[in-house]
Amino acid sequence: MRVLVTGGAGFIGSNLAMALVGESHDVTILDNFSAGNFSNLVKFKGDVICSDCTVQPPGPFDIIFHQASITDTTVTDQNRMMANNVEGFRHVLAWAAAWKARVVWASSAAIYGNSAPPMVESAAPHPLNVYGYSKMVMECVARLWHRQTGLPCIGLRYFNVYGPGEGHKGRFASMIYQLAQQMKAGHRPRIFRDGSQKRDFVWIDDVIQANLKAAEISGGEVFNVGSGISESFNSVIGALNVVMHTNYEPEYIDNPYHFFQKHTEADLAKSIALLSYAPRSGLLEGVREYYGSCAL
């Protein structure tokens, strides 16, 4: 198939593009390189277009994987967030309608806010910041577009994704990456007190699996993409100590954010039943593979 990956220079987008090339698809990446990084694409064998989602690339494409987005959850500029995420998505959907292309796109567990875990797709959204709100609006836009066109449009609510290719994100990379860098530098890992807050950490290969499976189904659904297991920040440090053969104790600091999610955990019943999604890596397995890849 001829495939377009928006945001293909980013963490998830670049991993997805490489996987698609590995399956012998004709892959084009669209990215304005405002957040992505060229280093993720050094081994990519395909076309790269430097542009945002307001300029239609030369089509047609059979499928669009829309990964482009402002993912910095600390951005408070509402106009910038909504213009980039929501209006950019409208452009992508207009291209898809013209090409009769199916769409798989990145939503987020930020939609859930501090809803009670495990978080199920049918729960009412409670975003804590404009990033989560933008994803909520995008889901509404996607549902309407699917009803109007009848074309497949599958949204994936990513939980806390980690893996190779995220290093360029710096302080916005996963906690697993950030804590590992602190420990490698000989410092005690710093986490918000008291380290009992929990996240559903999901290995990048499982996220790619979900995208590829989503490309095979019809409809206009959204699906959780996580590990289905929540782990505390203290547990992350424990796993890193095991894999890195260290013995660091955490350094606890105050949390400066009022919109902080205390506990995320994906309910995977729908994803397992309708996507045949099957996460393969728990926290320790994922951290071990990450460290073994020399990217952590």
The tokens describing 204, both together, are: 């990048």
Give residues with Cβ within 8 angstroms of 269, minimum separation 6.
Answer: 120
The yes-or-no answer on residue 213 being catalytic is: no
User: Is residue 131 among the annotated active site residues?
Assistant: yes
Which one of 135, 158, 169, 177 is the catalytic residue? 169
Assigned token pair, 138: 């995008």
Q: Give the strand pairing for 190-192 and 198-199.
A: unpaired
- Catalytic residue chosen out of the listed positions 112, 131, 133, 177: 131
Q: Which residues are catalytic?
A: 131, 169
